[in-house]
Structure 1
Amino acid sequence: MSEIVRRPVSRNAKLAKIPLGVAGRAAVGFGRKLAGGDRKEINTEMNQKAAEQLFAVLGELKGGAMKFGQALSVMEAAVPEEFGEHYREALTKLQAAAPPMPVATVHRVLDQQLGTDWRKRFESFDDTPAASASIGQVHKAVWSDGRRVAVKVQYPGADEALRADLRTLNRMTGLFAKVIPGADVKPLLAEINERTEEELDYRNEAANQRAFSKAYEGHPEFVVPKVVASAPKVIVSEWLDGTSVSAMIAAGQADPEGTRVLRNRVAGLMGRFHFSSPEIVGLLHADPHPGNFMITPEGKLAVIDYGACAPLPGGFPELLGRILALAVAEEYGRLTELLHANGWVLPGRTLTEQEIEEYLRPFTDPIRSESFHFTRRWMQRVAGKATDYSSPEMKTARAMMLPGEYVMIFRVLGGSIGICAQLDAEVPFMQLASRWLPGFREERDSA
């Protein structure tokens, strides 16, 4: 393929194909139904074509378009059953695949970032990419000291493309909601906007990854690849072999009973990693999608891609633990007071105890027992409640706001739950909260 499309006009035209294509197919499908066509067959065909177009456009454009698609892919489990497996397959492809950039382009970026004699720093370098992502692709290589390494190279023009996409996608949120029912895209785009500049400089990612690698070095359950070299547009880190969580999700769908123990273990490891890192590292890995997690041959959880990390130097906020404890105890009066006092309700708006209780009820299943089984059916039900804009609960939601310091935390929480639902796994959610959330046990005891 050609290099990444940079011109905003060209990118906007490609993005516009998605809603226009969906609308066109809907009109054609309606006509075929009127003519007596098989309704189920027509719907299946339309969904498949729409899903294929979604993957083709977002994957080809890379940049913010693909990053947005990857964020949506985590919520794949929430896609209603009537949209079938086609959307799921398209979204899953966006987790770890995109058309590659030309070899000459890769070499040119390496010349600019590592010097024109960059080949001397490697024993070998594979020109065929091992993986592709939203703003860069990964190549397998051998470093000069014999270590196998992963070389992530940023697409030329990714910065311009990312910014252009985000401006366009922010204007298309209503249309994307029709393509992916049940997904609230506005918070996803707001967060991607917030973190754009940080992720474009791989030196930030290298610093985050070094912090995680040092903190978890020798850990019995987790492994983080060490950074070997870094530049603004290139990062070299140790290569890790393993089975991706994406593959485990697929295996679970093919053999639910035979893979249940493994899937539960993997989901538990992911939970412990996310809950423990703020206290251990002072950072929260904030890009939860299945392509960033693997199980190594030794049975450890390997975690990659540290471009998006939320700084939490004191661990999780104590207020978060207190809020969760009051919800567990169903102390909605005290919880409502706490939310008002700490900026979770818009200025000038007042919410009652009953309104808060009714708003939270659809989301409280995981906190009613020490362990909870996350399923697609549960995700679909919760997503349906969360996107019913005519409901009283949505009126309550519009009176609330999430303080800025909690946006990334809830993004990770939502993404992690989405992966657990794709894994169809049981997770000791409350045990993790009790161990790692400051303020939780203290508030629970007092309640």
Structure 2
Amino acid sequence: MTSDARKVPSGRLSRLGAFGQLAAGVAGGVVAEGARRLAQGERPTMSDLLLTPANAVRVTEQLSRLRGAAMKLGQMISLDAGDMLPAELTQILARLRDAAHIMPPTQLEKVLATSWGPGWRRRFRRFDARPVAAASIGQVHRAELPDGRVLAIKVQYPGVARSIDSDVDNVATLLKVSGLLPSGLDLAPLLTEAKRQLHEEADYLREAAQMSRYADLLADDPAFLVPRPAMDLTGRHVLAMDFIAARSIDTLGEADQDVRNRAMAALLGLVLREVFDFGFMQTDPNFANYRWQEATGKIVLLDFGAARPVAERVREGYAALVHSGLHTDKPGLCRALIEIGFLSENQFARHGPALDRIIDTILGLLDRADDFDFADRRFTEQIRAEVPSIASDRASWHIPPAETLFVQRKISGTIALAVRMKARLPVKDMVARYDT
């Protein structure tokens, strides 16, 4: 987490002005870089001029300062789009995951006084003014009640909820004018769903209810810990919950192989249960939402603002994918990929051979009887080798339905964590439990 404290622009005009400063700064960078390259006899493209290191810093810094939907949408795009975005843009967006600033003390005091009243400090034995974490929508503080209960207090940045719609539209405009996305690509459904999800995430009363639901669902599961909210201190913009001491999930990478395997089996198993058993999923796979207790081997689950029901058609679509994959039914798998919205008829018509090779690779994974080694990058390399030809064909770009995209984001994020942990898991056996 960065140590910088910077006031969050909370008014509509101040946030619009920040986007104007960003656009002006990027434009100035384009002019300067264009002049430099022309003087060297080059004929650069607009995307070459936009995606310079200097402009990457400008975009990341300004969106980090704005926080809220501007930063969150960048994070969502970087996770959802995967290899379909230019590498330079992916790097810019990925940097937003760890780039949040914190509120200065005066702004924090104002937010808490508004939520709890001017004498709010008397409610606590101790309240740490320095946050223990900062993200796109809020920052987290450690506090202790007079009875000794230790809490994590998530405080929402001021103005975030009011600015969601305009921030999403402004980020989308920046992406469109950059020329990085095809002009004919219809972003409207995704943007509408992104706004809806962000409004839900900004409602901390809703998140408290989702947290309680998850705690109930996993109450008897020895692999997980879920905090409980303190409702007497929770409102729309402040969320109080149990503080559970744990380490970053990244530290799990230093554990023995069997420990990593157990942890990742629990997380991948949870994803399958979310889709097929619960019909309810926490759809944000940000690694910061997972913590690990070395002493107990338990995984602490955090951040339930993105929790949502899994649509029945999505569950049925994944069931069809599982069945076709396990039975090596290639035509059935192709139909399922189209019906769930991952791929389009147009893409199969234009890139049939490349997609056939990707599907063969996936079927090869599901056909393996032994544990799948996520440290073996040949699987992802075989798929990535086919992506450039499809991604470069802008006329075939396709955005899956939002209800599918958010579920797949969680699945892909969990797989990415398994790769980072170099886990070895019986993927076929785990998936086969849900073959209907």
- TM-score under structure 2 length normalisation: 0.76
Distance 1:329-1:24 versus aligned 2 partners, 3 A rule:
farther
Could you list the runs of 5+ residues in structure 2 that have no partner in the other structure? 1-5, 43-47
Query: Does residue 242 of structure 1 match 2:242?
Result: no
Instruction: After TM superposition, give the deviation of residue 432 of structure 1 in Å.
Output: 2.8
Q: Could you tell me which of 140, 143, 147 is aligned with 2:142?
A: 140
| Higher RCO (CA 8 Å, separation ≥ 6 residues) | 1
My pick for the range that moved more, 103-112 or 195-204, is 103-112
My pick for the range that moved more, 103-112 or 189-198, is 189-198
Q: Which position in structure 1 is the counterpart of 2:19?
A: 12
Instruction: After TM superposition, give the deviation of residue 373 of structure 1 in Å.
Output: 1.7
Does the Cα contact within 8 Å between 2:229 and 2:242 map onto a contact in 1? yes
Paired residues, number: 410
Instruction: After TM superposition, give the deviation of residue 300 of structure 1 in Å.
Output: 0.8
Does the Cα contact within 8 Å between 1:372 and 1:428 map onto a contact in 2? no
Distance, in Å, in 1 between the alignment partners of 2:90 and 2:405 is 27
Q: Which position in structure 2 is the counterpart of 1:68?
A: 73
Let me know the Cα RMSD of the aligned residues.
4.3
Distance 1:433-1:195 versus aligned 2 partners, 3 A rule:
same
Q: Could you tell me which of 343, 358, 361 is aligned with 1:362?
A: 358
SS at match of 1:141: strand
My pick for the range that moved more, 156-165 or 122-131, is 156-165
- Name the aligned partner's letter for residue 94 of structure 1: L
- Name the aligned partner's letter for residue 273 of structure 1: L
Q: Which position in structure 1 is the counterpart of 2:3?
A: none
Query: Does residue 270 of structure 1 match 2:274?
Result: no
- TM-score under structure 1 length normalisation: 0.75
My pick for the range that moved more, 324-333 or 309-318, is 309-318
Distance, in Å, in 2 between the alignment partners of 1:414 and 1:126 is 36
Does the Cα contact within 8 Å between 1:278 and 1:314 map onto a contact in 2? no
Instruction: After TM superposition, give the deviation of residue 209 of structure 1 in Å.
Output: 0.3
Q: Could you tell me which of 97, 103, 107 is aligned with 1:105?
A: 107
Does the Cα contact within 8 Å between 1:278 and 1:315 map onto a contact in 2? no
Identical pairs, percent = 24
Distance 1:278-1:339 versus aligned 2 partners, 3 A rule:
closer
- Name the aligned partner's letter for residue 300 of structure 1: K
Distance 1:163-1:80 versus aligned 2 partners, 3 A rule:
closer
- Name the aligned partner's letter for residue 248 of structure 2: S
Query: Does residue 206 of structure 1 match 2:213?
Result: no
Q: Which position in structure 1 is the counterpart of 2:281?
A: 284
Q: Could you tell me which of 284, 300, 303 is aligned with 2:301?
A: 303
Does the Cα contact within 8 Å between 1:137 and 1:155 map onto a contact in 2? yes
Distance, in Å, in 2 between the alignment partners of 1:359 and 1:187 is 25
Could you list the runs of 5+ residues in structure 1 that have no partner in the other structure? 36-42, 252-257, 443-447
Instruction: After TM superposition, give the deviation of residue 379 of structure 1 in Å.
Output: 4.9
SS at match of 2:158: coil
Distance 1:126-1:51 versus aligned 2 partners, 3 A rule:
same
- Name the aligned partner's letter for residue 267 of structure 1: M
Distance, in Å, in 2 between the alignment partners of 1:368 and 1:397 is 30
Instruction: After TM superposition, give the deviation of residue 163 of structure 1 in Å.
Output: 2.0
Does the Cα contact within 8 Å between 2:372 and 2:426 map onto a contact in 1? yes
- Name the aligned partner's letter for residue 242 of structure 2: E
SS at match of 2:136: coil
Q: Could you tell me which of 191, 194, 199 is aligned with 1:192?
A: 194
- Name the aligned partner's letter for residue 322 of structure 2: L
My pick for the range that moved more, 17-26 or 222-231, is 17-26
Instruction: After TM superposition, give the deviation of residue 141 of structure 1 in Å.
Output: 0.6
SS at match of 1:149: strand
Distance 1:19-1:301 versus aligned 2 partners, 3 A rule:
farther
Q: Which position in structure 2 is the counterpart of 1:415?
A: 413
Does the Cα contact within 8 Å between 2:375 and 2:419 map onto a contact in 1? yes
Q: Could you tell me which of 3, 7, 11 is aligned with 1:2?
A: 7
Instruction: After TM superposition, give the deviation of residue 242 of structure 1 in Å.
Output: 1.7
Distance, in Å, in 1 between the alignment partners of 2:313 and 2:339 is 22
Distance 1:70-1:404 versus aligned 2 partners, 3 A rule:
closer
Distance, in Å, in 2 between the alignment partners of 1:396 and 1:428 is 35
Instruction: After TM superposition, give the deviation of residue 166 of structure 1 in Å.
Output: 0.3
Does the Cα contact within 8 Å between 2:341 and 2:404 map onto a contact in 1? no
Does the Cα contact within 8 Å between 1:77 and 1:380 map onto a contact in 2? no
Instruction: After TM superposition, give the deviation of residue 414 of structure 1 in Å.
Output: 2.5
